[in-house]
Amino acid sequence: GSTTTTINVADGTSPISAIAKANMPAVVSIVNNSSTTYNDVFFGRNYTQETKASGSGVIISTDGYIVTNYHVISDAKEITVLLTDDRTFTAQSVGYDAVSDLAVLHINAQDLTPARFGNSDSLRVGDTVVAIGDPLGVEFRGTYTNGIVSAINRDVEVNGRTMTLIQTNAAPVSY
pLDDT digit string (tens) for 64-81? 999 999 999 998 889 999
- Rounded to 5°, the CA angle 89-36-93 comes to 35
pLDDT digit string (tens) for 87-102? 999 999 999 998 888 9
Instruction: Report the pLDDT value the prediction gives residue 136, as an integer from 0 to 100.
Output: 66
- Across 38-53, average pLDDT: 73
**In the chain, pLDDT over 90 holds for what percent of residues?**
38
Band of residue 175 on the pLDDT scale cut at 50, 70, 90: very low
What global pTM score does this model have? 0.79
CA–CA gap between residue 24 and residue 14 (Å, rounded): 15
Are 58 and 68 in contact by the 8 Å Cβ rule? The answer is yes
Are 32 and 52 in contact by the 8 Å Cβ rule? The answer is yes
Are 66 and 81 in contact by the 8 Å Cβ rule? The answer is yes
CA–CA gap between residue 4 and residue 118 (Å, rounded): 6
pLDDT digit string (tens) for 113-145? 999 888 888 899 999 888 888 766 667 777 888
